[in-house]
Structure formats: C-alpha cells, structure tokens
Amino acid sequence: MQREDLVFAGICDWAGLVRGKAFPVAETNARLKRGVGLTHSNIMMSCFGPIMTTPFGTTGDLVIRPDPAAHVAVPFDDGTAERFYLGDIQNTDGSAWECCPRDFLKRAIAALAGFGLGLHASFEQEFVYTGIEERPGATYALDAFRRQALFGEALTGALSAAGFGPDSFLPEYGPRQFEVTIAPEPALRAADRAVIVRELVRGVAWRLGHRAILAPMPAAGGIGNGTHIHMSLWEGEAPIMHDPAEPYGISARAAPFFAGVLAHMPAIAAFSTPSVASYFRLTPNRWAPVNANLAVQDRGAALRVAPVFGTAEESAAQQFNIEFRVADAASCPYLALGALIQAGVDGLTRRLALPPPEAQAPLLPRSLKEALAALGADKVAAGWWSPVAMRAYLSFKEAEIASLANLSESAICARYAEVY
C-alpha cells in the first residue's frame, strides 16, 4: 500500500468545528497561494451536520486560504500525523469574506490597535477523557492523574511538538475531567492555538482509542466543561493593566475596556456560550458564572481578576490578567475573542466606568434564545460585522435551537456530547 502525505486546510467555523479539505503535502506551495474551495452555505453547516437554513443557497465560490502562521505538523509513534493549516475564508478576488470568523477577530484587533493597545490571551480548556473509568474520590487526585498518564504525556508531547509552551495539564473537579492550559499569546495567535489545542486533545484521545468530550455539559446535572479566556492589555511590550491603587487593581487605562465587556456581555454570550447546552452550565453552584459581574479572585464571576504571585510590581504587572468565564468549547474562539475585544473597544470609545464592587450585577442570559435576542438588540454589536453576516448568524443559531425543541435536558446534552 502506497501512502501519500495529506495536509488539511480548515477553518474553525460558526459551529466551532474545524472543517475544510485536504491536499497532498507536495502541493503545499501552490495551495498556499490558491487555497481550497468552499461555498457560502458551508458556514451554515450546523454543529449536528445538516445545513438547517441558509440565505446563500447553492451558488457562489469562496476559498479557504491556509495561513502558514497557523500550521500544525505533529507526528505520532504509529506513523500517523496531525497535519493541518487554519486559514481565512476569502472571496475569489482575495478579499476577506464578510462571514469569515478569523476576519471577525482581525477587525476587532485592528479596532483595538486604534487605541494603541493589543490584547494577549490564553484559553484554558476543560474536557472529559473517556479512556479511564469513573471513580469516586478521584477529583484532583494523583491517582486520577496517574491513570491517564499516557494520555496526558502524549498530549503534552503533541503540544510541545506543535511549538506551544504547555503551561499545565491537570485532573479537574468532574469525573474523568481534565484541563489543559497554554501560555498567553497575542489575540490572533491565541485563538488559533485554542483551536489547535482542541484538535490535538481530540487527536491524541482518538489515537488511544478513546474520546475527549469538550461539550459544555457532557451529561445533564453533571459538571460543566468551561473554556476560560485570560486577557491582558499591552502597549507594545509594556503591560498596562495593573494599578494596585485602583479598584480591582485594574488601571484607569484598562478599566473602560472591561466596563465595555460587562456592558455587552449578553451579546458576547451569543458567541462565547453559543449552544443550547451552554446554559445548563451557567447555573448556580457550578463554579461557572450566573451574573454579568466582575470580582477579584472569584471563580463564580463572569470576569475574574486572576491572582498575581509575588510582590514585585514589575512581575505583578506582567502577570496581571482578567479571566472571562462565560465561554465553552461550542464557541468559535475567533468569534468569542472578537466579540470580547469589540465590546472592550466600545468601552474605551465611550469611556465607560467599572461598576463599584458592591453593585448588584445583572443576570447573564438564561438561554441561547435570550442571548440571541440580546445580540439582535445590541446596537453596538450590530456594527461588529455586516448586516448579512449578523442575520445569517442569528438564523443559524435559531435553527439549532429549533432542531432541539421537545428534547429533554439530558437528550440535549447527549446530542452536544456527540459533537464536541
């Protein structure tokens, strides 16, 4: 049997899944220029597979242009490899397509650059690994860690081979639940890496004959899988977030950004917690947020001011970051981070102030339906992309809700657990 190496060129789409096409590695140079073909209705492919609704019909051509900066080539012992590029969706003339998720983030980054600022981010992702048995008392235990050692080490090896600095790999609170974190990077690269980490987690689990389930609620009433997005603002090489003299320790320059995130949080949720099951996770007593609030070192908050270690101010300024917890793996990282940055930019534009720590924070949306209504009603969010893209996104997600009508909470969780 003669094999030829293939490489996949994909995009993380609105469903938060990487889809695309493969080509022979030998054709890489030509494909980097030409891309691989796609149609407009591809973006309307639901997380469950079928295109449930599309304003684009059967016409039109687009290309996925692979980005050499988002290339993965990770070999495994069994002779297989993870070989893929992430890319942009472009019109045939090479311009960005208005529905491209990566372009959504790029435009947000450019808007923030208008304030002389850049955002660094790091995604912490939780998931269930099915390769070990469920045992009571295993939470955070060395014994739980030992039982998945092969998976953890293979994953860490894959992340290193992909050129990432894995930060930590740990057993989490839920049965068979783990978490992987990687080092912070500028926003676009951080979102690319979030996508790549998910795929490597899935790829390593699959090679070991098991699955990684990243779905927000693998089982009804169980423990949620969060994706926590750590963010810090920088001016060039200088961190500008920290000022111990200001409320929450957030500098006067950075505060309006996070006030903007709080102000638009219901609309952001339509991108960052974009599944029906996402809202089973955002319920009390799950270490997941319920209110659109900001709090210092509180893992129940939507925005958590993360701790800094040590006392030297220079090091504190470097470490200081805020964690956004209203996100999960049903989200497309480009859309989630793009919406966060755009909301922050609106806060900077309007010089919004942070609420005082004692203020009562509004509730987050209680369902995807509420989040979509908030997105549709948010006049600022209407400017984050084109009216065509906004209408298509809302109808895409409304169709997903309709497809689950009449299913029980556990049946809905099971549907998503098959997908993510």
Half-sphere exposure of 391 (CA within 13 A, CB side): 6
* Residue whose CB is less far from ligand GLU, 323 or 346: 323
Verify binding: residue 323, Mg ion, rule CB under 5 A.
no
- The residue with tokens 């295993």 is 138
Verify binding: residue 304, ligand GLU, rule CB under 6 A.
no
Do 51 and 395 touch, CB atoms closer than 8 A? no
d(CA 390, CA 7): 32
Verify binding: residue 281, ligand GLU, rule CB under 6 A.
yes
Under rule CB under 5 A, which residues in 7-46 are in contact with Mg ion? none
Verify binding: residue 288, ligand GLU, rule CB under 6 A.
yes
* Residue whose CB is less far from Mg ion, 31 or 286: 286
Q: Letter for the amino acid at 191?
A: A
Q: Which of 287, 369, 398, 399 binds ligand GLU (CB under 6 A)?
A: 287
Helix or strand (DSSP H, E) at 30: helix 28-34
Q: Which of 13, 179, 185, 192 binds Mg ion (CB under 5 A)?
A: 179
CB of residue 143 vs Mg ion: minimum separation in angstroms? 19
Half-sphere exposure of 65 (CA within 13 A, CB side): 17
How are beta strands 227-235 and 238-239 bridged, if at all? antiparallel
CB of residue 148 vs ligand GLU: minimum separation in angstroms? 17
d(CA 380, CA 393): 16
d(CA 168, CA 164): 12
Verify binding: residue 299, ligand GLU, rule CB under 6 A.
yes
Verify binding: residue 325, ligand GLU, rule CB under 6 A.
yes
CB of residue 228 vs Mg ion: minimum separation in angstroms? 7
Sign of CA dihedral 275, 282, 307, 322: positive
* Residue whose CB is less far from ligand GLU, 31 or 281: 281
Verify binding: residue 198, ligand GLU, rule CB under 6 A.
no
How are beta strands 6-12 and 18-24 bridged, if at all? antiparallel
Q: Which does 224 bind (CB under 5 to 8 A by kind): ligand GLU, Mg ion, none?
A: ligand GLU
CB of residue 218 vs ligand GLU: minimum separation in angstroms? 11
Verify binding: residue 328, Mg ion, rule CB under 5 A.
no
Q: Which does 76 bind (CB under 5 to 8 A by kind): ligand GLU, Mg ion, none?
A: none
DSSP symbol at 236: T
Please give the size of the binding site for ligand GLU, defined by CB under 6 A.
Answer: 11
Under rule CB under 6 A, which residues in 329-368 are in contact with ligand GLU? none
Do 221 and 137 touch, CB atoms closer than 8 A? no
- The residue with tokens 């006049």 is 379
Give, to the nearest 10 degrees, the angle between helix 149-161 and helix 187-207: 140
Residue with the shortest CB distance to Mg ion = 179
- Interface with ligand GLU by CB under 6 A: which residues? 126, 173, 223-224, 226, 281, 286-288, 299, 325
- Interface with Mg ion by CB under 5 A: which residues? 179
